[in-house]
Amino acid sequence: MKLTLLLDLDETLLNTNQDIFFPAYLQALSTNFASFLDPKLVMRALLSSIEKMNQNQDATRSLKDVFSDEFCPMVGMSREALDTHIDDFYSRVFPSLRGITSQIPEVQPFVDWAVAQGYRLVVATDPLLPRPATRQRVQWAGLEPEQFELISTFEDFHFLKNYPAYYAEVLGRIGWQDGPVLMVGNDMERDIMSARKLGLATFFIETESGSTSGSEAGPRGALADLRRYLETTDLASLTPSLKAKDAIMTVFSSTPAVLDGLLRNLSTDDWKRKLSASEWTLTELICHLRDTEREVHLMQLKLFSDKDEPFIPRPDTSVWASQRDYLHEDGPTALREFNDARLATLEILYSTPAEGWGRKARHAIFGPTDFREVAGFMADHDRMHIHQAWALLKKM
């Protein structure tokens, strides 16, 4: 199985000099509006919008939507006008900030080596910036965006790295593949501890010798050390464990975001496209997820509160697509209905106390079980069908 490498950008692949770069970036962006807006007002709006993105846990709103919904009313600008000015800024002004940054000599040889090993590479950067800015910064690092399977940006993502759901969203967007995963970054809280809450293995990039102490960092060092680590480690040991309560909750929380990111720009024809007689369309797949959430997952979880050691049935959902004529439903509507049902499921999961996750039951298929394992089966169901949707999109 291929290793998936999630690589942070700032101070991991690129010397960003963040203490200088981001104030200069915000100043340049606010000045870009100076011909018709007070730069101080723009700066306040920028900082407020960034804070809103940092707080966002709504899996149905992209970070771009969160930013625009805060920024535009504060400065009295339409979203269309904002997009026009932002596009101009990133094509005309943003490149001038490159001189603040510098390349890390070890980065390009490491990435070339990782590509040669057949690893799947992701730029797992906090998606605070739009696609053009992030792609430019990848190029400033001496790399090509095409070397990476995914680069997280605010148009496509819904969470920042302070929430572990960001990492689940990354893995969902590349198809929830089986196999080892390693998160590499220099920020202990956002790169390392947050990824570990999902169950991911991590490698801490030390920007200075001894920049962190103790065992909390785990494997650590420079990029040269990372290569040696990968060459001497059993990569199978890096396969994430997704069975803990935190991991299950994170997968559940991320699924609407993953589906929104994968499906938001589909045409009507894409929703209905039948690639083979044996495969569902994307509309049928989302209808299946919706009805399973409503009629199976919610029912199973509620049984735990109704009686001690309940029997957990597993209805045959394979016939629903034809019986219920999913093909002729509206895909986007079904997705909204799935999201509503998922909120009800999350409410049950969040309200279940820690001891409740150990409550026993008997499953129709798996025999003796407990609440945590049943919830884990549901998270596995999410991941399986996200992979199915991802695979269908790859064929289109």
CATH of the domain at 10: 3.40.50.1000
* Residue 132 shares a structural domain with residue 32: no
Q: Which residues face 121 on adjacent strands?
A: 5
pLDDT at 215 over 70: no
Per-residue model confidence (pLDDT) at position 210 = 46
Cα 193 from Cα 254, distance rounded (Å) = 18
**Residue whose C-alpha is closest to residue 9's, from 141, 166, 167:** 141
Over the stretch 49-71, which tens digit does the pLDDT of each residue have?
Answer: 999 999 999 999 999 999 999 99
DSSP-derived secondary structure for 53-119: HHH---TTS-HHHHHHHHHHHHHT--HHHHHHHHHHHHHHTGGGGGGG-EE-TTHHHHHHHHHHTT-
Domain edge (last residue) among 99, 124, 140: 99
Over the stretch 118-140, which tens digit does the pLDDT of each residue have?
Answer: 999 999 999 999 999 999 999 99
* Residue 259 shares a structural domain with residue 385: yes
Per-residue model confidence (pLDDT) at position 180 = 98
Mean pLDDT calculated for residue range 292-318: 91
pLDDT at 163 over 90: yes
Q: How does strand 120-123 pair with strand 4-7?
A: parallel
Cα 104 from Cα 11, distance rounded (Å) = 9
**Per the structure, how many domains does the chain have?**
3
Q: Which residues face 201 on adjacent strands?
A: 182
Q: How many residues does the chain have?
A: 396
Cα 167 from Cα 169, distance rounded (Å) = 5
Mean pLDDT calculated for residue range 6-26: 95
pLDDT at 21 over 90: yes
* Residue 250 shares a structural domain with residue 386: yes
Structure tokens at 247: 């991991």
* Residue 11 shares a structural domain with residue 153: yes
* Residue 182 shares a structural domain with residue 284: no
How many C-beta neighbours within 10 Å does residue 74 have?
Answer: 14
Q: What percent of the chain has pLDDT over 70?
A: 97
3-class state of residue 289 by DSSP: helix
Place of tokens 């909390």: 216
Mean pLDDT calculated for residue range 226-230: 97
Kindly report which listed range (141-145, 250-254, 300-304) carries the lowest average pLDDT score.
300-304
Over the stretch 75-133, which tens digit does the pLDDT of each residue have?
Answer: 999 999 989 988 999 999 999 999 999 999 999 999 999 999 999 999 999 999 999 99
Chain centroid to Cα 144, Å, comes to 21
* Residue 190 shares a structural domain with residue 257: no
Can you give the residue range of the structural domain that contains 220? Answer: 4-15+101-238
Structure tokens at 352: 């279940």
* Residue 232 shares a structural domain with residue 178: yes
* Residue 11 shares a structural domain with residue 140: yes
pLDDT at 207 over 80: no
Q: What percent of the chain has pLDDT over 90?
A: 86
Domain edge (last residue) among 99, 115, 145: 99
* Residue 194 shares a structural domain with residue 337: no
Mean pLDDT calculated for residue range 381-389: 97
Domain edge (last residue) among 99, 116, 141: 99
Largest CA distance in the chain: 69
Cα 225 from Cα 53, distance rounded (Å) = 34
Instruction: Using the CB atoms, write b or e for 168-184: b if 16+ within 10 Å.
Output: bbbbbbbbbeeebbbbb
Q: What is the CATH number of the domain that holds 337?
A: 1.20.120.450
* Residue 185 shares a structural domain with residue 39: no
Helix axes 371-395, 282-292, angle to 10 degrees: 170
* Apex 351 CA angle, 373 and 381, nearest 5: 35
Per-residue model confidence (pLDDT) at position 214 = 53
Stretch (H or E) spanning 362: strand 360-363
142: left (phi over 0), alpha (psi -120 to 50) or beta: left
Stretch (H or E) spanning 60: none
Task: Compute and round to an integer the Cα radius of gyration of the chain.
Answer: 23
* Residue 230 shares a structural domain with residue 106: yes
Asked if 7 contacts 134 with a C-beta cutoff of 8 angstroms, the reply is no
Cα 94 from Cα 88, distance rounded (Å) = 9
Per-residue model confidence (pLDDT) at position 30 = 87
pLDDT at 379 over 50: yes
